[in-house]
Chain A
Amino acid sequence: MDIRFTEQQEKWKREVIEFLEKEMTPEFLEELEQGDHATFSAFSLPFSKKLAARGWLGLAWPKEYGGQDRSYIDHAIFREQMGYFMAPTGAHQLAVDMIGPALIRYGTEEQKKWWLPRIVKGEVTFCQGFTEPEAGSDLGSLRTRAEPVGNEYVINGEKAFSSGAHHSDYMYLATRTDPTAPKHKGISIFLVSTSSPGVTIVPMRTMNHGRVNQVYLDNVHVPAENMMGEKNKGWGLLMGALGVERSGVEVAAFRRRIFDELVAYAKETRRDGRLLIEDPIIRYRLAEWEINIEVAKMLCWRVVWMRSKGETPSAETTVQSLFDRVSEHTFFNFAMEILGLYGQLRRESKYARLFGLIERRYLKSCAITGAGAIPDISRTTIAVRGLGMPRERIAVS
């Protein structure tokens, strides 16, 4: 057992830090915070292109597809620093983490040749089109239909809560292609241009001064070659895709960054005649959070380590994300309390601290708990897959 990085890994970490120190200036962070997505989920195509120029978008991809075939650990080192520096990933993360790997695994040769080079160069952006008004956690009940007409499919339906649809070129869209099949067996995936006639993108404003989108698909024609994987086998892609969502290192590192900012704030801020850092209660609570953050980091690195050994984590990933998610709200509430009265100030205020990002993340924290998988669904996954407890029998209509 050894928790240290090798010399090469340390060198790589320094290289990433050097780049990010140069790029992630306070001015740039402030600019990002004006956008629709807070902190590291911010959308900056120019920044993503800078990563692309270094070959860093394809870090984990095989060389034959323009990737660097770097180890999981190298990749995690990169992501951890990206999270710590709050570097924007909105313009590339979905493509790099989900769509590219799905294409590599399920795509035709033509699809690979067309899409993959464009993704690693940061030339094409994607949004996700899974969730619908009536299909959230129960994704299998999605209703958007795709019907074959000649060499094309015609798509009709409605997607909800799609982040970034308004600045993405394509949507990674889950549709129903066999309405007669059982609900998980008639689903197919398409890459659909968001500028196709019939696509209407309507903003849904979020509580944290951002937006996601409602996307209406009204007789949208899509070439058949834009179908990803086999017809009616899309469920496997969706599940596989959700499974590779994250090891979480960047999220844990982001929280560490916020924590470090809070400590710095407490060291320079006087309230009621003394520095915050001298207040025993504040010190105690900071220490408690540091423990929590360290645990989160180790649970993430365990997932990375398993992958680096060629193992496929299953419940371990859920354990890590559950740990993060259940504390998201309480952590940002704590951050708000450290800022005191200033915590309530939005980014527009000249008195706002840290570009108002704590206020934004505090507002977002209740959505973090809901995005991906709500904690009780994670708990069921851990109980059933991790602990082998019996599955609850749900009456399926």
Chain B
Amino acid sequence: MDLSLNENQKMLKATARDFFEKAYPKNVVREMETSRAGYSRDLYTRMAELGWLGMGIPEEYGGGSADLIDLVILYEEIGRALVPGPHFISTIVCASIIEECGTEEQKRQLLPRISSGESIFSLAQYELEGGYGARSVTLPAIAEGQNFVLSGIKLFVPYSHVADYLICVVRTGNGASEQDGISLLLVDAKAPGITHNPLVTIAGDKQNEVILDKVKTPAVNLLGPLNDSWRHLTRALQKSIVLQCAEMVGGAEKAKELAVAYAKQRVQFGRPIGCFPAVQRICADMVPAIEGARYLTYEAACKLRDGEALVREAHMAKAFASAAYRSTTSGAHQVFCGVGYMLEHELNLYYRRAKALELALGDVDYHVRQVAAQWGTAGGGQ
């Protein structure tokens, strides 16, 4: 039992904080929100040069083979600085899926391109129904000769408009359970028949409607077993969920710091508002929320790193950290009052981001239900 960071991790934390503060001042973050691409190619390449895009990818595939805890540290800083762009969906989510399901050949081909930043990958999972579970995956992929042909609409696909490849979660069959018949297919994001239509979102992060009109992808682009890839996807996403929690913890921490600093300096009724118990109460309540989210995230990360494949604590952390980020930023708004509500103030960036991150990779309800899944599913309406 040791919850400390080692020297390398402390250094990584300091380096990352410094880099992101300089590379992503809030005016840059705002520009990305309104730009079409939503990220800067140049800064993305610099992250690759620092070894941060492939940090968790095994060395033999061009990555840094870093401990998951290192990535947790990096993502706390990413959350703090609100670093926009496809780094998460490509280098964490898609890389994990390829690592989990890919053949040796696929790993050797694809992972180095992710870690070098040369290619960007995205995951096309959700559809019109908007559910997170297997039942909501309906988009068919029909085998035709050496190809699969995909037709339908995928929604909420992050940064697909700048992606080179999509991992499409598709239905290739039906079986006894809703998980039977789900496959993962690698699709050229710019293949004929694909249209990416941007969705205008609460946090200005880039998500798209992806329309697939008889899009062909070679059968060799199948990732993982045909009809039986849902469980692989679930396993691969565990790491991503934990890192997204770290991102939320980092953002919440910064929002807390903003509120506390303001409360110390803002004078009303002749004193700093931070000495009023009502204001202290708001700020003090942020602490157990953030620290609870942080240590639960660490616990989940340690368990995953130590070889547990499915970690209930990951779902717990996502549910708890989502609520913590939300309550911290809304609490901070109470401290700032009207000032924080103004668009020019940076707090609104955190408040909006909190909701976007809460919805990504499963909302609170979804993850609480995953925790409940330990008691079986009979009649449980899972």
Contacts and interface: CB of A to CB of B under 8 A. Distances in A.
Interface of A: 1-5, 9, 73, 263, 266-267, 274-275, 277-280, 283-284, 286-288, 290-292, 294-296, 298-299, 301-302, 304-305, 308-309, 315-316, 319-320, 322-323, 376, 378-380, 382-384, 386-393
Contact of B320 (A2, A291, A315, A391): A291
A16 to B, nearest CB: 16
A287 B295 contact: no
Contacts of B343: none
Interface in B343-382: 368-369, 371-372, 375-376, 378-381
A288 B303 contact: no
A319 to B, nearest CB: 5
Nearest to B68: A1
Most buried by A among B284, B299, B371: B284
B368 A302 contact: no
Given A3-B299, A291-B316, A379-B280, 17 more contacts: A1-B298, A2-B302, A3-B303, A263-B375, A277-B375, A278-B379, A280-B380, A291-B296, A298-B295, A299-B288, A305-B2, A305-B4, A323-B292, A379-B277, A383-B274, A389-B279, A392-B275
Contacts of A5: 1
A308 B287 CA distance: 22
A376 B285 CA distance: 10
B313 interface: yes
Contact of B369 (A284, A299, A383): A284
Contacts of A295: 292-293, 295-296, 316, 320
A3 B291 contact: no
A304 B380 contact: no
B291 A319 contact: yes
B128 to A, nearest CB: 24
Interface residues of B, number: 50
A379 B283 CA distance: 8
A319 B293 CA distance: 13
Contacts of B316: 290-291, 294-295
B266 to A, nearest CB: 11
Nearest to A383: B280
B281 interface: yes
Nearest to A302: B295
Contacts of A383: 274, 280-281, 283-284
Nearest to B272: A390
Interface string B136-168: 000000000000000000000000000000000
B176 interface: no
6 contacts: A294-B316, A295-B293, A295-B295, A304-B1, A383-B284, A392-B277
B379 A274 contact: yes
Of listed A5, A274, A278, A295, residue having the most chain B CB within 10 A:
A295
Interface in B1-54: 1-6, 9
Interface in B95-113: none
B291 A299 contact: yes
B263 A267 contact: no
Contacts of B283: 382-383, 387, 389
A280 B382 CA distance: 8
A392 B197 CA distance: 54
B1 A302 contact: no
Interface string B237-280: 00000000000000000000000100110000001101111011
A386 B253 CA distance: 13
Interface in B315-365: 316, 319-320
B129 interface: no
Given A3-B3, A298-B295, A291 B319 contact: yes
A292 to B, nearest CB: 8
Interface string B63-91: 00000010000000000000000000000
Contacts of B302: 1-4
Interface of B: 1-6, 9, 69, 260, 263-264, 271-272, 274-277, 279-281, 283-285, 287-288, 291-293, 295-296, 298-299, 301-303, 306, 313, 316, 319-320, 368-369, 371-372, 375-376, 378-381
Contacts of B3: 1, 3, 301-302, 305
B275 A390 contact: yes
Contacts of A304: 1
A390 B313 contact: no
B124 to A, nearest CB: 29
Contact of B271 (A283, A323, A384, A390): A390
Nearest to A73: B1
B375 A267 contact: yes
Nearest to B371: A287
A302 B284 CA distance: 18
A380 B275 CA distance: 9
Contacts of B274: 383, 389-390
A35 B320 CA distance: 38
A382 B260 CA distance: 12
A296 B293 CA distance: 10
Contacts of A290: 316, 371
Contacts of B313: 294
Nearest to B73: A1
Q: Which of B9, B281, B288, B372 has the most CB of A within 10 A?
A: B288
B239 to A, nearest CB: 15
Question: 5 closest A-B pairs (Cβ-Cβ)?
Answer: A383-B280, A298-B295, A379-B284, A278-B379, A287-B371
Contact of A380 (B277, B379, B381): B277
Contacts of B320: 291-292, 295
Contacts of A2: 1-2, 302, 306
Contacts of A322: 284, 288
Given A278-B379, A295-B295, A284 B372 contact: yes
Given A1-B4, A291-B371, A382 B298 contact: no
A389 B369 CA distance: 39
Contacts of B2: 1-2, 305
Contacts of A298: 292, 295-296, 298-299
B41 to A, nearest CB: 34
A315 B368 contact: no
Contacts of A309: 4
B287 A386 contact: yes
B367 to A, nearest CB: 9
A387 B303 contact: no
Given A387-B287, A391-B275, A291 B299 contact: no
Greatest chain A CB density within 10 A among B285, B320, B375, B381 is at: B375
